[in-house]
Amino acid sequence: MSEPGTSPARRRCGRRVLALVAAHTLVLGAVGVAAAGPTDGAPAAAAGRAVAAAPGLYAGGTFTRAGGTTVDRVAVWSGTAWSGVPGAGPDGPVTAFTVYQGDLVVGGSFLTAGGVRVNGIARWDGSAWAPLTGPAGTGVMSTPLDFVDALTVFDGDLVVGGQFLTAGGVAANHVARWDGTRWHPLTGAAGTGVDVGPVSDLVVHDGALIVAGGFSQAGGLATNRIARWTGQAWSTLGTGFNGEVLALAVFSGALVATGGFTEAGGVPAARIARWDGGAWAALGGGLDAEGRALAVHDGALVVGGHFSEAGGAVTNYLARWTGTAWAGLAGPGGTGTDDTVLSLAVHDGRLVAGGFFTTAGGVAAAHVAAWDGATWAALSGPAGAGTDGGVYALHSV
């Protein structure tokens, strides 16, 4: 299966192309989404146990090699080398990670993981893959165009966002929660889930779950691409945005959103804005094109995406906001990367970026690179550096 390529097309469009190609061989309609009984799959991991997955930086995407080693779209960086998870991995693109009840949870556009039918989401306990099942079904994919794009943990449940109508056979509309045994919708007074997928990101802020994407309604309430879920009801964050929200983060106590919008809460905000609990505000001059990933590193907010400038300064797909000004992430041979950044994480004190790029700070770094605050470095293995395809997700364990 080929990757979407290095064009500026949004990552979900690339995954839809992948899904259409996969449909010729996977044909969900023919195979069907198998209904799972209460005992199907491995038991849920015990709450509070240590993480079973090996420590390291996990990368997911469309790649099949990392550091020259053969992998199945999931790879682990130990600090010195890349490896895959033992046995077969997901059979399609991986776009999201989190840890829930001690297991690594992986989401994307895949039907199987380790040869087990999982339908877009699976958990890895350090030795085997298992589906997320409920009495009515398994996973979230019911058509070849469905996928998971966001994962987080809220109020003891795993929350899943993306493009899907059902979760475990339960009507959910692009966002759902799994309690370790069953799937549940996020239902409001006038509706369930959101009206249009995908849900692009999820984060917990000020005691509530924040859901972002391209939707106009959540729980039947007009929300404009971002909404707040308390565990009981949906609510708005001001008047929302005039364009899609692709990533969320919490920085200095405030909620930060980035994406393709030019207004937030009715005020000008060039593709990145902050919410202080009462109103939206711009972050300086913002970005000249979409932001797609956010992280906090060394006391600054870092944004990655498809932009070339932040606050009027040339930054090349990556920029840092200190709270007062924008700056680039420079290396020995340049600033930023040579193509789109889709994912960010902090691992062993360094910022790690993933995407479609081949250089970072002028250093050869195939699709993934680390920045220590002063210089860029590739993540190399014994037989090569980086990956042979796009890196859509990063997670430090």
DSSP string, 70-87: E-SSEEEE-SS-EEEPSS
Q: With 90 as the cut, is the pLDDT of residue 75 above it?
A: yes
Q: What pLDDT is attached to residue 51?
A: 80
Q: What pLDDT is attached to residue 386?
A: 95
What's the pLDDT tens digit per position in 12-32? 444 433 333 333 233 333 222
Overall average pLDDT of the 149-169 stretch: 98
Q: Which of 21-35, 45-59, 155-169, 209-223 has the lowest mean pLDDT?
A: 21-35
Q: What pLDDT is attached to residue 381?
A: 75
DSSP 161-172: EEE-SEETTEE-
Q: Which of 3-17, 280-294, 314-328, 379-393 has the lowest mean pLDDT?
A: 3-17
Q: With 70 as the cut, is the pLDDT of residue 1 above it?
A: no
Percent of the chain scoring above 90 in pLDDT: 83
Q: What pLDDT is attached to residue 22?
A: 37
Please give the helix or strand (H or E) that residue 14 lies within, else none. Answer: helix 11-26
The model's pTM = 0.89
Q: With 50 as the cut, is the pLDDT of residue 57 above it?
A: yes
What's the pLDDT tens digit per position in 244-269? 999 999 999 999 999 999 999 999 99
Percent of the chain scoring above 70 in pLDDT: 88
Q: What pLDDT is attached to residue 52?
A: 80
Q: What is the mean pLDDT of the chain?
A: 89
Distance, in Å, from the CA atom of 354 to the CA atom of 340, rounded to the nearest integer, reads 9
Please give the helix or strand (H or E) that residue 309 lies within, else none. Answer: strand 309-310
Q: What pLDDT is attached to residue 118?
A: 98
Q: With 50 as the cut, is the pLDDT of residue 138 above it?
A: yes
Task: Give me the residues paired with residue 294 across strands.
Answer: 303
Angle subtended at Cα 352 by Cα 350 and Cα 358, rounded to the nearest 5 degrees:
130
The model's confidence at residue 319, banded by pLDDT at 50, 70 and 90, is very high
Q: What pLDDT is attached to residue 49?
A: 56
What's the pLDDT tens digit per position in 170-214? 999 999 999 999 999 999 989 999 999 999 999 999 999 999 999
Distance, in Å, from the CA atom of 195 to the CA atom of 306, rounded to the nearest integer, reads 27
DSSP character for 337? Answer: B
Q: What pLDDT is attached to residue 200?
A: 98
- Cα–Cα distances (Å) from 230 to 174, 297, 367, in that order, read 17, 28, 37
Residue 174 main-chain phi, psi, to 5 deg: 80, -5
Q: With 80 as the cut, is the pLDDT of residue 10 above it?
A: no
User: Do residues 47 and 158 lie in contact, with contact meaning Cβ atoms separated by under 8 Å?
Assistant: no
